[in-house]
Structure 1
Amino acid sequence: MKRLWTPAWIARHVAMVVLVTSFLGLGWWQVSRAAAGNAISWGYAVEWPIFAGFVVFVWWREVRHTLHGAASTTTAEAGSTTEAPAEMPAVTGGPDGPAEALVGTNRPRPGIRRPVRVARVPVDDHPDDADLAAYNRYLSWLNANPGAKPGDYPG
């Protein structure tokens, strides 16, 4: 619980409270405008509470993520010894299915993998193709003479 009372988390709590009260206040304002005859305000009156609910959802998700991270860190520190980690248990299924067998196990999390780098080597498919060589000479001439027209090619 102490992790939720750092200066960064206090700022998040305050921001959540300010945003939710502001969004609900704006929703109430839109309800009063809609009651006065502005028909489009009914849509906004529904949107603002949805925005407030989204802020609460994100805040709650971050709180759960932080508390879960704190719990896994304390269990990892308590169980850290010099012996090798235990192997993964075989998933044969618990009383409620295969997911039940993994509850409480220390599963390794997948890490970020590095991308595979492939060296690109030019392949010379047709080294003796005269038409291809002539076309490449034509393209290099066009590149060397940017103002020239294709009909000006001397070759």
Structure 2
Amino acid sequence: MKRLWTPAWIARHVAMVVLVTTFLGLGWWQVSRATAGNAISWGYAVEWPIFAGFVVFVWWREVRHALGGGSPARAAGRGGTGTPAADGTDPVAAGAAAAAEPADAAGVGRPRTGIRRPVRAIRSSAGDADDADLAAYNRYLSWLNANPGAKPGDYPG
């Protein structure tokens, strides 16, 4: 709970209270205008409380995220207790245990990371006419890059 009382979180709590109070006040103001005869204010009278509800929804999701709560699917993905398999084992715990094992020489059992190898693009030439057009276009792009304030019409070629 101490995580929710840092200066940044106090500012979020205050902003949520101020926004909800303001939006509900604006909704009440629109109700008073609508009862005075302004028909379009009925739409705004409904709209402002919806905005207040959205602020509360976003604030609540941020609080749950900061506290580490959330849906069971996200808890299982974070390493929490998932649904046990039919044989009584926890698939998430089994996956975590497999990821903790050292990889063998073939790389089997190696833990998956978020870092991937770069994609290598293979270029093939379509023909001489296309290559000449491509080279001219690349020269044009290089000139534009070398002259950032220039307009495309200033290109000398």
The TM-score bracket by the shorter chain reads 0.5 to 0.7
Pair 25,114 (structure 1): closer, same or farther in 2 beyond 3 Å: farther
Relative to structure 1, the CA distance from residue 8 to residue 31 in structure 2 (aligned partners, 3 Å threshold; closer, same or farther) is same
| TM-aligned CA distance change 1:89 to 1:38, over 3 Å | closer
Q: Give CA deviations for 1:64-93 in whole Å, capped at 9, x if unaligned.
A: 111117xxxxxxxxxxxxxxxxxx997327
Q: How many pairs were matched up?
A: 106
Matched AA of 1:119: A
Equivalent residue for 2:123?
121
| Larger RCO, structures 1/2 (Cα 8 Å, 6+ apart) | 1
Q: Aligned Cα RMSD in Å?
A: 3.6
Residue number in structure 1 paired with 2:41: 41
Identity %: 65
In structure 2, distance between residues paired with 1:106 and 1:6:
36
Quick one: structure 1 residues 40 and 89, their matched pair in 2 at CA, closer, same or farther if it must change by over 3 Å? Answer: closer
**Greater C-alpha Rg:** 1
Residue 51 (structure 2) pairs with residue 57 (structure 1):
no
- Distance apart, 1:117 and its partner CA: 1.3
> Could you state the TM-score of these two structures normalised by the residue count of structure 2?
0.54
Unaligned runs of at least 5 residues, structure 2? 70-81, 97-111, 137-157
The residue aligned with 1:84 is none
Compute the TM-score of the two structures, normalised by the length of structure 1.
Answer: 0.55
CA deviation map 1:103-141 (0-9, x unaligned): x95966x864547412322246x7xxxxxx6xx39x86x
1:36-115 matches, cutoff 5 A = 36-68=36-68, 91-92=85-86, 105=93, 112-114=114-116
Q: Secondary structure at the match of 1:34?
A: helix
